[in-house]
Copies of this chain bind each other. A is one copy, B any other.
Amino acid sequence: MLIGELAVQTGMTKDGIRFYEKVGLLTGRRLPNGYRDFPPEAVPWLHYVRTAQTLGFSLAEIARHGEELRDAPDTAEALSALLAEKIRLIDARMAELAALRADLDARVGTGCPLRAADPVS
C-alpha cells in the first residue's frame, strides 16, 4: 500500500505518516523506485496509535512499547506483560479522572469554589 492510500484509510496526512515513520512508529519497506510500501496491518496499527495517543500516551512511549514487543524473546508473554502494564496505567488515569470528577461534583452548589481562586472577581 502506498502512502497516499494509507493516508486515506487512516485519515492521516502523508506528512503525518512520514513523521510517524521517522519517529519509529512505522518501519519502512521501500519499493525499487524508493516509494514506501505499507502492509495492510498498518491501518489498524495507526488506528491503535491514534487511540493510545488521544489517551495521553506519547508517540515515544507507543513506539517504545512496539519495540519492546518486537525484541521480546517470548512474544506472547511480553505482550501480556506490556498490555497488563498499559492497563495499569489506564486504571491509574481513570482513578485520577474519578477523583477530579468527585472533586468537581462536591464543589457543585457549594458557593464559589473555583472563582475564589481567581483574584479578578
Contacts and interface: CB of A to CB of B under 8 A. Distances in A.
Interface of A: 26-27, 29, 38-39, 41-42, 44-46, 48, 51-52, 54-56, 65-66, 69-70, 75-76, 79-80, 82-84, 86-87, 90-91, 93-94, 96-98, 100-101, 103-105, 107-109, 111-121
Nearest to A41: B117
Contacts of A70: 115, 118, 120-121
A52 B104 CA distance: 11
User: Max chain B CB contacts within 10 Å: which of A27, A39, A83?
Assistant: A83
B119 A39 contact: yes
B48 A114 contact: yes
A114 B84 contact: no
A57 B116 CA distance: 20
Copies in the complex: 2
Contacts of A83: 104-105, 107-108
Contacts of A114: 45, 48, 65-66, 69, 79, 82
A111 B84 CA distance: 15
Contact of A41 (B80, B98, B119): B119
B90 A55 contact: no
